[in-house]
């Protein structure tokens, strides 16, 4: 990975238990074009409120992120703590505090241990180096079992650039542990309005197309910084270079999103849900999300039970327009049901074999229109219940 103009640092600030890095800094040596997508929940963590204000101008230069404490449901004090963190980082880096994005993940409802944050800022900034994103990906993990990272290269006008991203999380993750966080950085120069538009579109088909437990967090943040240090001429919309960049960005976000689902709490299956033939794309997404979030469907995946009836039932209550006599369903290439009824033959036995795989696709054709949607999900397992019931004991 040859990513120019970015420096990284991680330290152990003792926000989490000892022996774990829990505070990380990403710094762009020059101001970067930046945009972000935040949780749409009405209950937003303090750092989300702060970062939302800071990024409104379309630029950023640093991201400070901690794990172990979400600084959510912490009221006025939480907001002051997030502001102070941004100010401390800004002062140490010699930038304006609005150039600093603050992100947190961890326990909800507990005030940030600010003394530990204050003590950690100097070693954190002193430790900045042109290392790799890997250490940062490690430091932002909570219940993640592996760091999530992806990088690609592109060219614009003969100049090479790199796009790299990291992510953490799987839905709400832990008792009082919240959050999906993802940070994308690139040394490419991108026209700001185009960056915002293509980033939002890519988030829609990646991070907004995954679900582990249907729970949205108070802290979800997906953020991109493009600092232009590769020296390319600015990438714009409606150009071959723009298309290339969009494609690279989509690939990275989708890869990170899939990694999150694969690392979903207690997950033993990775399932792609493809809905086609819906009245429109919105209806298709309704149906796909109803399937992906159904506890009954997800426990059937865990039980390797080729239970197409539950999937039709979920489509039925999804709110999507449906004529049940036109529904069809396949597991991978095995048609389980068509025209709303069982396909017959050896479908049951063959479908069950598909569900024994670690990864498979469920395709539902609603049969009335051209709307499509693809979402990714995991199964619902004993381990999920254990992780989420037994955390604080």
Q: Does 178 bind a second copy (CB under 8 A)?
A: yes
Size of the site for a second copy (CB under 8 A): 71
Beta carbons within 8 Å of 314's beta carbon, 6+ residues apart = 287, 290, 291, 294, 296, 297
Q: Does 199 bind a second copy (CB under 8 A)?
A: no
Single residue of 57, 317, 349, 358 touching a second copy by CB under 8 A: 317
Q: Which residues within the stretch 239-268 sit at the binding site for a second copy (CB under 8 A)?
A: none
Q: Where do runs of H (alpha helix) occur along 28-105?
A: 46-54, 75-93
Q: Does 358 bind a second copy (CB under 8 A)?
A: no
Q: Does 197 bind a second copy (CB under 8 A)?
A: no
Q: Does 22 bind a second copy (CB under 8 A)?
A: no
What one-character-per-residue DSSP string does 116-172 give? HHHHHHHHHHHT-BS--THHHHHHT-SS-SS-EEEEEEEEETTEEEEEEEEEE-STT
Contact (Cβ atoms closer than 8 angstroms) between residue 4 and residue 230 = yes
Single residue of 155, 176, 239, 247 touching a second copy by CB under 8 A: 176
Catalytic residue (one of 179, 186, 198, 229): 179
| Window 373-392: contact mask with a second copy (x via CB under 8 A) | -------xxx-xxx-xxxxx
The residue (of 53 and 323) whose beta carbon lies closer to a second copy is: 323
Q: Is 179 a catalytic residue?
A: yes
What is the closest distance, in whole angstroms, from the C-beta atom of residue 295 to a second copy in the complex? 4
Q: Which residues within the stretch 107-166 sit at the binding site for a second copy (CB under 8 A)?
A: 107-110
Tokens found for residue 231: 């020296």
Question: Tell me, what DSSP letter sits at residue 361?
Answer: E
List C-alpha distances in Å: 283 to 29, 161, 322, 336.
45, 38, 9, 22
Single residue of 129, 303, 356, 359 touching a second copy by CB under 8 A: 303
Beta carbons within 8 Å of 16's beta carbon, 6+ residues apart = 22, 67, 68, 106
Q: Which residues within the stretch 35-54 sit at the binding site for a second copy (CB under 8 A)?
A: 39-44
d(CA 272, CA 73): 34
Q: Does 276 bind a second copy (CB under 8 A)?
A: no
Q: Does 302 bind a second copy (CB under 8 A)?
A: yes
Judged by CB under 8 A, which stretch of 3-11, 60-68, 69-77, 153-161 contacts a second copy? 69-77
**Which residues participate in catalysis according to the annotation?**
179
């Amino acid at each position: 990975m040859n990513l120019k103009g970015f420096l990284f640092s991680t330290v152990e600030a003792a926000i989490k238990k000892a022996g774990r890095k829990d505070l990380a800094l990403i710094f762009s040596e020059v101001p970067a074009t930046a945009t972000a997508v935040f949780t749409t929940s009405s209950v937003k963590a303090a750092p989300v409120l702060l970062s939302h204000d800071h990024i409104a101008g379309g630029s950023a230069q640093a991201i400070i992120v901690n794990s172990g404490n979400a600084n959510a449901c912490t009221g006025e004090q939480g907001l002051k703590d997030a502001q102070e963190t941004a100010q401390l980082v800004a002062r140490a880096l010699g930038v304006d505090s609005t150039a600093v994005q603050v992100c947190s993940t961890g326990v909800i409802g507990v005030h940030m241990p600010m003394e530990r944050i204050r003590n950690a800022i100097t070693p954190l900034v002193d430790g900045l180096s042109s290392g790799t994103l890997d250490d940062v990906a490690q430091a932002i993990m909570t219940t993640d079992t592996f760091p999530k990272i992806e990088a690609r290269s592109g060219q614009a006008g003969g100049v090479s650039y790199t796009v790299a991203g990291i992510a953490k999380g799987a839905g709400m993750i832990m008792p009082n542990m919240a959050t999906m966080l993802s940070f994308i950085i690139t040394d490419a120069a991108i026209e700001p309005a185009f960056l915002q538009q293509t980033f939002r579109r890519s988030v829609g088909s990646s991070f907004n197309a995954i679900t582990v437990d249907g729970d949205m967090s108070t802290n979800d943040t997906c953020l991109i910084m493009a600092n232009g240090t590769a020296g390319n001429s600015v990438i714009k919309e409606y150009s071959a270079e723009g298309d290339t960049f969009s494609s690279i960005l989509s690939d990275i976000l989708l890869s990170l999103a899939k990694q999150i689902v694969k690392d979903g709490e207690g997950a033993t299956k990775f399932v792609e849900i493809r809905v086609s033939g819906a009245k429109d794309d919105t209806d298709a997404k309704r149906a796909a999300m109803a399937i992906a979030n159904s506890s009954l469907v997800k426990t059937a995946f865990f039980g390797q039970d080729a239970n197409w009836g539950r999937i039709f039932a979920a489509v039925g209550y999804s709110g999507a327009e449906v004529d049940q006599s036109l529904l069809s369903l396949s597991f991978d290439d095995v048609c389980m049901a068509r025209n709303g009824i069982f396909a017959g033959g050896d479908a049951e036995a063959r479908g069950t074999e598909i569900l024994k795989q670690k990864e498979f696709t469920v395709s539902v054709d609603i049969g009335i229109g051209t709307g499509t949607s693809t979402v990714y999900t995991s199964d619902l397992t004993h381990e999920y219940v254990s992780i989420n019931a037994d955390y604080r004991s």
